[in-house]
Amino acid sequence: DAGITQSPRHKVTETGTPVTLRCHQTENHRYMYWYRQDPGHGLRLIHYSYGVKDTDKGEVSDGYSVSRSKTEDFLLTLESATSSQTSVYFCAISGTSQNEQFFGPGTRLTVL
């Protein structure tokens, strides 16, 4: 299995509070991604990174920000959580010539 961990694995928070999710990889892959998974929508890309300090927006980036100060860590921040951000969040990494993405275990976030 690709060395990807996510923390926390579960979190319950209240509307309006800031939340940071962490993705950590040990594969030294260049690309890292944050997705959210909601029923009926598959996975939707929030933000991605193509190198240290290099990030870009995905399909559903509103309300989210990211940072990548080291190759191995990619942080997703919800500045002020809303109930619509209740979801399962997956981190993925990619760095092979086939562009195959490998996924972390996921974080289940509930915003009350």
Distance of closest approach, residue 101 Cβ to another protein, in angstroms: 6
> Taking CB under 8 A as the rule, does residue 57 contact another protein?
no
List beta partners, residue 23: 6, 74
> Taking CB under 8 A as the rule, does residue 86 contact another protein?
no
> Taking CB under 8 A as the rule, does residue 90 contact another protein?
yes
Residues that bind another protein (CB under 8 A): 31, 33, 40-45, 48, 50, 56, 58-59, 90, 94, 98-106
